[in-house]
Structure 1
Amino acid sequence: MARAVTTQRKVTNTVIAWGVGLLIFFPILWTILTSFKTEAQAISDPPLFLFFDWTLENYAIVQERSDYMRFLWNSVIIAGGSTVLGLVVAVPAAWSMAFVPSRRTKDVLLWMLSTKMLPAVGVLYPIYLIFIRLGLLDTRGGLVIVIMLINLPIIVWMLYTYFREIPGEILEAARMDGAGLREEILYVLTPMAVPGIASTLLLNFILAWNEAFWTLNLTAATSAPLTAFIASYSSPEGLFYAKLSAASTMAIAPILVLGWFSQKQLVRGLTFGAVK
């Protein structure tokens, strides 16, 4: 029987939730507002919140100085390619861990998770040398592979969790009907785990889109994504906050729109299997 929740409790929880949400969103809001200020207003003391001279000059300068569409296209290819490639590798791996019993499954999962605890700079030098030797430096293909490998533990963990919620009897029934391994994964397992797979895709696309360390160190100009586009506005002459905010707003706008329209699917996937 569900517990009764008082109106006062609902109001309190709502106020707290909105407060936390606004606190988290405030840096993004401040960046967007700063992008419409002049450089003098961006560094004014006390700070100007809404009452300032709104201008689109920063966006015009950013557009003139940089080829925004090239950076955007590189980000789409790198984030999308690494996410799809990671899914291709992770689905069979998660299936094996979820439906082929082994005493080492948890050990393998913990080992995979432990690789996320390694500082990225600790493996930068060997990966940099490998990229030079293989001719992958400043290429989108090289970044797709590296970012896929970085996020692969998260993809496998999430898919493993979702697959574990699917009854094994369904897969056994499919095998009795003559389904092979390929048909079992493509036509039985994958459709049943669509909410979980979708949320995994969305989350890892966002992580790949925001990846800065590897994109800044393994690219120069040809395959540089939006993270390099933002970093280019930090110059030896100093930080131009208004122009930097405009570049940041242009970089985060696509992923904000994607997150807004896919938030229901993301929440549904992240809670998939929570209640039986």
Structure 2
Amino acid sequence: MRGIQNFLILVLLLLISGSKLSECARIFTIANYCRETIWPAITPGESFDGGGFALRTGQTIVFTAPIGWVGRIWARTGCNFDRNGNGSCQTGSCGSSLKCTASGKPPASLAEFTLAAVDYYDVSLVDGFNLPLVVTPINGRGNCSVAECDADLGRNCPAELAVRGGGRIIGCRSACDVFDTDEYCCRGVYGNPVTCDATYYSKRFKQACPAAYSYAYDDPTSIFTCSGSDYVVSFCSSRRQTVCSYHHNNLVCSGSMGLRPWWMMILAFIVTSALWKI
């Protein structure tokens, strides 16, 4: 009888501590809703297939990143790689390799993460724009807002910032990248949040994408926090689109609190009831 009691106590302790196990890593689902193949890039990329891969239209891929990972995710477009992983891209290129070990060449829409007890994440247009990008936290605790730029800035990109390829606009550069001045780049006497303010161009970006960084010190409305969350990084999707993550053998989708916490409470109640009867 005591053996059964000890077993039930162990089960209850595992149920209670189970939530802590999920805090040891974060599940990333990267999804392509674009009409063309893209080549996502991640740095550092040790936990993400070496930092680069092809992703066809409608395809998703799942990775697990450890707590302490600080990095960025973006998409490369118009790429052509040979069987050895050597080639070039129209936007977001990190050199001539499929596997990225360096930052992407602007313009590129960025998803940035700092994973810790409380995660920090954002979508940044500081390096310009090449594709709509949405970061959706799922099954987390805290504010956990969606970070996104789901508008196509290429359609309304000022002519002096536009990047063209194949007879169409394929990206929108930042004012810093084009004009290279201290004011636009938030450097020199403008290298602090007091003197570096929004400009005509960053205001255009902010109007189109209110939940994304439009310039270097655009912190208050652009950086978000969440704890113990999975993240879906989707390209060419909408902030309102339902996205899902496969977490602990459960399919958990945005807008859902998930099944696991309810099952934990039910099982804990069953175990507790059994202990009273012993």
Task: State the TM-score, normalizing by the size of structure 2.
Answer: 0.22
* Higher share in helix: 1
Larger RCO (alpha carbons 8 Å, 6+ apart): 1
Instruction: Tell me which structure has the larger Cα radius of gyration.
Output: 1
Task: State the TM-score, normalizing by the size of structure 1.
Answer: 0.22
* Higher share in strand: 2
